[in-house]
Amino acid sequence: MALITELSLRSMLSAGIPNPFPIEAGDKITPAAIDFLKGRGIQVKPSQPNEAANDQPSSIPVGVSNRHVHLSQEHVEALFGKGHTLTPLRNLSQPGQFATAEVLTLHGPKGMIQHVRVLGPARGESQVEISRTDGFVLGIHPPVRLSGSIEGTPGITLIGPKGFVTLGRGVIIAKCHVHMSVEEAKQYGVTHGDSLVLRTAGERPIIFPDVSVRVSPQFALDFHIDLDEANAANLKTGDTVLIAGKNGVLHRGEAG
Amino acid sequence: MALITELSLRSMLSAGIPNPFPIEAGDKITPAAIDFLKGRGIQVKPSQPNEAANDQPSSIPVGVSNRHVHLSQEHVEALFGKGHTLTPLRNLSQPGQFATAEVLTLHGPKGMIQHVRVLGPARGESQVEISRTDGFVLGIHPPVRLSGSIEGTPGITLIGPKGFVTLGRGVIIAKCHVHMSVEEAKQYGVTHGDSLVLRTAGERPIIFPDVSVRVSPQFALDFHIDLDEANAANLKTGDTVLIAGKNGVLHRGEAG
């Protein structure tokens, strides 16, 4: 039950007013608000009972990823010395994942980037995640992929203190995605492989219409974006974004 | 009049399917497509005659702006020498605007950026447009503003071959906006000060829900974004974006 006024509608303009505009049973709407909607060609639509608001949480915390490298144990030793193992520095938001003390240099056909953090633990295959901005510095233009999907991606040269490794593939721009535990997925009413529509507020609003949902008992709730996406949307780690829809379908009450 | 199939609906998923889904008089929808919509809780809604498609153009070309500087004539002379005037190098998309042969260095509290292009002609007051990414390099975190709106913005030091200038204000992150001539504004059905909802397609879809429209006889059609926005959306100059709504209201057939 809500009182819908012209003022409350105006405050929705920057985030978007849906057309038709949904009205719940019990909602009151002022004559000025009706004029406001009519003047913009927006129809008023009484909501169906099955569309009623539920108890699902409506926001997700943001985690911004800077460029980083995942290494196989073989490559750890090639870059940092025979028998070397990664040195945990601090835990990341995802359980079991950590930033390491190790950094290395990315070397591409056009340029290089120093002091790139290695994340642990070691993986089966090495993978390098950069932003599109980094790609222009390096002269490498990888596709947008989910982690682990490196078929047909470009390679790069990694330089460490004890040696170098030339990868034949493994450079990606990370596709933005949400991590969730199995329990959180139930709360949010989503399953692994779903896609969410997420939106930001603030002075630089952006909508991400196709955010992959990845569910695992090992995951914790986090919306992962890279630095380009963070800077374009004025987001930083710890901010939250709002859920505006699922699988390409907007929730009622949401618009562009 | 269209044939709506499950396949055609699936192809809309990444850009978004509106709920309710509008059906035109004469549209045919297959039983599988109806099941597809029902399974996602999407209602089918016959469109009203006044919602019928019109002849307005539906896309806008993109112009990506790298960091740049506008200078007053006084500052041109302070940086490049007494009596110096800007040297046109090439025309920009906006009539009368040009890139110049002059470049300078931006110097902030944390770092500097060299080879920053000066745009001409000279203006009444100097203004520096950087990306948020540049701001982290410089240690300057300006607000998101439309060009010319520099009240309360931070300053910066400019270094040229013949001297330097310390601005007390004038550094902004440009708010994304569309330039249009008066004639184009009529074609698009918008006026100066309107806000458009623009969306990209491709492997990294993004929606810009609040893009300012600026209309002037001196303007040419262009959606201006900075490098962060371009990189987050995989856009480059010459690409096009689609119009998904106006003043926070989605067009029919559009969703997140």
Percentage, residues of chain B above pLDDT 70: 91
Q: Are strands A88-91 and A98-107 parallel, antiparallel or unpaired?
A: antiparallel
Lowest mean pLDDT, pick from A197-206, B39-48, B181-190, B233-242:
B39-48
**Segments of chain B assigned to CATH 2.40.40.20:** 176-250
| Residues ≥6 apart with Cβ < 8 Å to A120 | A86, A88, A97, A98, A99, A100
**In A30-175, beta strands by DSSP E:** 44-46, 59-65, 68-72, 88-91, 98-107, 112-123, 127-129, 144-145, 156-160, 163-167, 171-174
Please report the pLDDT score of residue B49 as a whole number: 44
Which of B19, B175, B228 is closest, CB to CB, to A249? B19
Indicate whether B120 pLDDT > 70: yes
Domain A176-250 is found in CATH 2.160.10.10: no
Taking only the tens place, the pLDDT of each residue in A150-193 is: 999 999 999 999 999 999 999 999 999 999 999 999 999 999 99
Which residues of chain B have a CB within 8 Å of the CB of A256?
Answer: 197, 199, 207, 209, 244-245, 248, 250, 254-256
Closest Cβ–Cβ partner in B209, B231, B249 for A205: B209
Q: Tell me if A248 and B17 make a contact (CB, 8 A cut-off).
A: yes
Q: What is the pLDDT of residue A203?
A: 81
Q: For the ranges A21-35, A116-130, A206-220, A231-245, which has the lowest average pLDDT?
A: A21-35
For A180-228, how does the pLDDT look when each residue is reduced to its tens digit (9 = 90+)?
999 999 999 999 999 999 999 778 899 999 999 999 999 999 999 999 9
Please state the rounded mean pLDDT for residues A141-155. 95
Contact call for B42 and A249, based on CB within 8 A: yes
What average pLDDT does the segment A129-146 reach?
96
Q: Which residues pair with A213 in a beta bridge?
A: A178
Whether A13 sits inside 8 A of B50 (CB atoms) is no
> What is the tens place of the pLDDT at every residue in A33-82?
877 887 787 877 765 544 434 578 889 999 999 999 999 999 999 999 99
Which chain B residue has the Cα nearest residue A145? Answer: B203
- Specify whether the CB–CB gap between B199 and B234 falls below 8 A: no
Exposure string of B183-193, with b = 16+ CB inside 10 Å and e = fewer, is: ebbeebebeee
The answer to whether the CB atoms of A13 and B248 lie below 8 A apart is yes
Q: State the pLDDT confidence band at B173, using cuts at 50, 70 and 90.
A: very high
Distances (CA, A) of A23 to A8, A19, A28, A44, A209: 14, 11, 8, 7, 24
Secondary element (H or E) of residue B129: strand B127-129
Q: Are strands A59-65 and A222-226 parallel, antiparallel or unpaired?
A: parallel
> What is the pairing mode between strands A21-23 and A44-46?
parallel
Instruction: Tell me which of B8, B10, B19 to substitute to probe the interface with A (most A C-beta atoms closer than 10 Å).
Output: B19
> Does residue B99 surpass a pLDDT of 80?
yes
For residue B165, give every residue at least 6 positions away whose Cβ sits within 8 Å of its Cβ, in sequence order, or none.
B75, B78, B79, B126, B157, B158
In this prediction the pTM is 0.77
Which residues of chain A have a CB within 8 Å of the CB of B206? 206-209, 232
CA–CA min distance A188, chain B (Å): 16
pLDDT band at B135 (very low <50, low <70, confident <90, very high): very high
d(CA A232, CA B225): 10
Binned at pLDDT 50, 70 and 90, residue B51 comes out as very low
Q: What is the pLDDT of residue A26?
A: 64
Q: How many residues does chain B have?
A: 256
Query: How many CA atoms does the CB half-sphere of A37 hold within 13 Å?
Result: 21
User: With contacts defined as CB-CB under 8 Å, which chain B residues touch A42?
Assistant: 249
Q: Does A210 touch chain B (CB under 8 A)?
A: yes
Q: What is the CA radius of gyration of chain B?
A: 23
What the block records as the tokens of B43 is 């209602």
**pLDDT, position A36:** 81
Q: Counting Cβ atoms within 10 Å, is residue B163 exposed (0-12), middle (13-18) or buried (19+)?
A: middle
Q: What is the mean pLDDT of residues B187-205?
A: 92
**Residues of B with CB below 8 A from A113's CB?**
none
Least Cα separation, residue A104 to chain B (angstroms): 20
Q: How confident is the model at residue B54 (pLDDT cuts 50, 70, 90)?
A: low
What integer is the mean pLDDT of A27-36? 76
Strand A222-226 relative to strand A195-199, pairing = unpaired
Taking one residue from A and the other from B, the number of pairs with CB-CB distance under 8 angstroms is 152
User: In chain B, which residues have their Cβ closer than 8 Å to the Cβ of A248?
Assistant: 12-17, 255-256
Is there a contact between A206 and B205 if contact means CB atoms under 8 Å apart?
no
For B:11-70, CB contacts with A below 8 A are 12-20, 40-43, 48, 50-51
Lowest mean pLDDT of A97-111, B38-52, B111-125, B164-178, name the range.
B38-52
